[in-house]
Amino acid sequence: MDLTITPLMASDIGQVAAIEAMQHHAPWSAASFSDVLRQGWHSGVLKDANHTIQGYYIAMTAGDDEELLTITVHPDAVRQGYGKRLMQDLLGHARQRGAARLFLEVRASNAPAIRLYEQLGFKITGMRKNYYSLPANLQTGTPAGREDALLMCLPLNGEIH
C-alpha cells in the first residue's frame, strides 16, 4: 500500500479527531488538534493512497528534548507496522531538530505499545501512579478507576541520561 506521512493540516482534523475518539478513553477534541496547529507542535499524519488517515502523532519540543504527546493508529489498521512507521518519522525529525532525548508516557496495560517502544530502544525511566482514568465497564461491572503511566526515554545523541 502506498503510504505517506505529512504534517497535520486543518483539513485532517476531522478524521484525526474521529480516530482519537475510537481509540482513547479520554480523547483529545477537534479543538485540541486545532491548538496543535496554533502552537506549532510537531506532527505526522499517515495517509494511504486514497488520502484516508491511518494514524498520526503529535509531539512538542521542550528545551533540547522532544516529547511524544499522542500517537494513534486507526482501529482497522493496527498491527500493520503503522505505529512503528510513525515513530520512525518522529525520531528522524527529532534528530534533525537536534533533540537530545525523546520522552513519552504510556499506559502500563498497553503491552503492544510498550513492546514497540522497547524495540526502538526506549527504556522505562519512571512511573506516574494512577495517572490515567479508566471508565466504568457496565458489561463486566468494573467500576471506574485509575491506571499507572510508564515514563520512557530514548537518548537521540548516543548518550544515556
Q: Which of 66, 105, 118, 159 is catalytic?
A: 105
Separation of CA 140 from chain center: 28
Q: Which of 56, 57, 82, 117 is catalytic?
A: 117
Separation of CA 130 from chain center: 19
Q: Which of 37, 16, 26, 90 is nearest to 59 (CA)?
A: 90
Element (H, E) at 62: strand 53-62
> Does 105 qualify as catalytic in the annotation?
yes
> Does 147 qualify as catalytic in the annotation?
no
Computed from CA positions of residues 82, 94, 117, 58, in that sequence, does the dihedral angle turn out positive or negative? negative
Residues marked active site are found at 105, 117
